[in-house]
Amino acid sequence: MRLTKLREALAAEGLDAILITQPENRRYLSGFTGSAGVLLISQDQAVLATDFRYYEQVEKQAPDFRLAKITDKFKTLLPELVQQVGAKRVGFESAHLTVDQHQEWQEVAEGFELVPTKEWVEKIRAVKDEDELGKIEKAIALADQAFAHIVSFIEPGMTEKEVAWELEVFMRTRGAEKLAFDIIVASGPNGAMPHATVSERVIRAGEPVVMDMGARIDGYNSDLTRTVCAGRPDGKFREIYDIVLEAQRAAEQRVRPGMTGKQADAIARQVIEEAGYGDNYGHGLGHGVGLAVHEKPGVGRLSEDVLEPGMVFTVEPGIYLTDWGGVRVEDIVVMREDGVEVLTRASKDVGRQ
Ligand code: ZN
Ligand code: ZN
């Protein structure tokens, strides 16, 4: 199915074959999880070129691909492979090849032409099948559990690092093959930076704490943000928190298939703008999630990606106030025929005990 879609794209764009170098794309199409290798896919052939370290792994993970053994540099093998599949116009992923690699390939490209392509596989990846959805749901459930755990763990006086480590150990010891990304625990003023990481700062009672985390299971990622208050939240916290929650709720209720990422973004942004905090929300509403933590579709102010059933993406508005902190609430949703289904189950009440 995945190869069929790619082959349709090849035919539509008038290419005979395509070379795939982007790691997640390579895995998505072949099943091969190794960290080095190039796929060559034509209408009737599928080849995976890699080196000695991975020969056995390829046979196990990618039985539908013919293994081409790289014993020297890949470029020395390239003309032969292209000839074997009988290709004249050969696509490559222009965003995932270094200038040096491109130059090397170009040097040996005799009798065929290298044609740049953009996001072909990424577009196919944006729509998830049931198997992928199942893996994403597992990763989401683990992050949800980690959050439920941390709510009972976190107390004023702890450092951000202690809280982040507790989250990491929780996810790693309960099935995450790795973290989806470095955990963010941003307390008080640190939370004003949307991508703050983790510091030795001591969390104080009454201030917002933004926690952004995700687990990776079977290659698929989750991405969860909740903002809590260690201790009693004050009026300011409640005001900001309610606006962010309202923005998220509006998007989750009103986004429909056929909208662009930009239109989805505008729904939540309007709520925050009308509340007077438009200048304090500087990032997009969300992003696709799957084999990569950030993938298609884009769900931001500039995204023309059309949201289709089967797409999985985040909905994560936020408000960031210098010297005070930030509030961000992030869910993962899957697009259905009649709107989005929220997959994240982590509580949102804890921000306002
Ligand atoms: Zn996140
Ligand atoms: Zn995110």
* Interval between CA 36 and ligand 1 midpoint (Å): 28
DSSP code of 307?
P
Q: Looking at the structure, tell me whether residues 181 and 103 fall in a common domain.
A: no
Ligand with the closest atom to the CA of 210:
1
Predicted local distance difference test score (pLDDT) of residue 195: 80
Q: Looking at the structure, tell me whether residues 175 and 320 fall in a common domain.
A: yes
Express each pLDDT in 49-90 by its tens digit. 999 999 999 999 999 999 999 999 999 999 999 999 999 999
Q: In the predicted model, is pLDDT for residue 351 greater than 80?
A: no
Phi, psi of 202 (to 5 degrees): -85, 130
Ligand with the closest atom to the CA of 288:
2
CA dihedral 214→264→28→12, nearest 10 degrees, is -170
| Distance from C-alpha of 257 to C-alpha of 232, rounded to nearest angstrom | 40
**pLDDT confidence tier of residue 352, bands split at 50, 70 and 90:** very low
* Interval between CA 29 and ligand 1 midpoint (Å): 26
For residues 319-345, give the mean pLDDT.
Answer: 97
Q: In the predicted model, is pLDDT for residue 198 greater than 60?
A: yes
Do you find a cis peptide bond into 297, omega within 30 degrees of 0?
A: yes
* Interval between CA 213 and ligand 1 midpoint (Å): 6
* Interval between CA 95 and ligand 1 midpoint (Å): 24
Q: Looking at the structure, tell me whether residues 214 and 240 fall in a common domain.
A: yes
* Interval between CA 227 and ligand 1 midpoint (Å): 11
For residues 12-36, give the mean pLDDT.
Answer: 97
Predicted local distance difference test score (pLDDT) of residue 208: 94
* Tokens linked to 243: 């606006």
CATH number of residue 88's parent domain:
3.40.350.10
* Interval between CA 242 and ligand 1 midpoint (Å): 19
Q: Looking at the structure, tell me whether residues 113 and 152 fall in a common domain.
A: no
* Interval between CA 155 and ligand 1 midpoint (Å): 22
Q: Looking at the structure, tell me whether residues 116 and 152 fall in a common domain.
A: no
Express each pLDDT in 252-286 by its tens digit. 999 999 999 999 999 999 999 999 999 999 999 99
* Interval between CA 81 and ligand 2 midpoint (Å): 39
If one counts the domains in the chain, the total is: 2
Distance of CA 118 to the CA centre of its chain: 18
**pLDDT confidence tier of residue 20, bands split at 50, 70 and 90:** very high
Express each pLDDT in 118-177 by its tens digit. 999 999 999 999 999 999 999 999 999 999 999 999 999 999 999 999 999 999 999 999
3-state secondary structure of 154: coil
CA distances from 149 to 163, 185, 220, 330 (A): 11, 15, 22, 17
Q: Looking at the structure, tell me whether residues 333 and 318 fall in a common domain.
A: yes
Q: Looking at the structure, tell me whether residues 202 and 275 fall in a common domain.
A: yes
Predicted local distance difference test score (pLDDT) of residue 350: 63
Distance of CA 98 to the CA centre of its chain: 22
* Interval between CA 54 and ligand 2 midpoint (Å): 32
* Interval between CA 46 and ligand 2 midpoint (Å): 34
Count of other CB atoms within 10 angstroms of residue 32: 24
* Tokens linked to 205: 């009672």
Residue-range definition of the domain harbouring residue 139: 130-352
* Interval between CA 101 and ligand 2 midpoint (Å): 31
CATH number of residue 228's parent domain:
3.90.230.10
* Interval between CA 111 and ligand 1 midpoint (Å): 47
For residues 30-45, give the mean pLDDT.
Answer: 97
Q: Looking at the structure, tell me whether residues 156 and 251 fall in a common domain.
A: yes
**pLDDT confidence tier of residue 349, bands split at 50, 70 and 90:** confident
Predicted local distance difference test score (pLDDT) of residue 92: 98
Whether the CB-CB separation of 203 and 230 falls below 8 Å is answered with yes
Ligand with the closest atom to the CA of 328:
1
Q: Looking at the structure, tell me whether residues 138 and 256 fall in a common domain.
A: yes
* Interval between CA 222 and ligand 2 midpoint (Å): 9
Ligand with the closest atom to the CA of 287:
2
Crossing angle of helices 261-274 and 235-254, rounded to 10°: 150
Predicted local distance difference test score (pLDDT) of residue 353: 46
Question: Which one of 77, 108, 125 terminates a domain?
Answer: 125
Whether the CB-CB separation of 222 and 140 falls below 8 Å is answered with yes
Q: Looking at the structure, tell me whether residues 58 and 178 fall in a common domain.
A: no
Whether the CB-CB separation of 243 and 208 falls below 8 Å is answered with no
| Distance from C-alpha of 318 to C-alpha of 248, rounded to nearest angstrom | 9
Question: Which one of 106, 125, 144 terminates a domain?
Answer: 125
Count of other CB atoms within 10 angstroms of residue 95: 12
Q: Looking at the structure, tell me whether residues 179 and 261 fall in a common domain.
A: yes
* Interval between CA 187 and ligand 2 midpoint (Å): 18
User: Any idea which residue has 């579709």 for tokens?
Assistant: 297
* Interval between CA 63 and ligand 1 midpoint (Å): 35
Question: Which one of 80, 101, 125 terminates a domain?
Answer: 125
Q: What is the mean pLDDT of the chain?
A: 96
How many Å from the N-terminal Cα to the C-terminal Cα in the chain?
Answer: 48
Ligand with the closest atom to the CA of 286:
2
**Of the candidates 185, 193, 207, the residue with the CA atom closest to the CA atom of residue 321:** 193
**Of the candidates 128, 172, 93, the residue with the CA atom closest to the CA atom of residue 295:** 128
Q: Looking at the structure, tell me whether residues 221 and 307 fall in a common domain.
A: yes
Ligand with the closest atom to the CA of 312:
2
Ligand with the closest atom to the CA of 184:
1
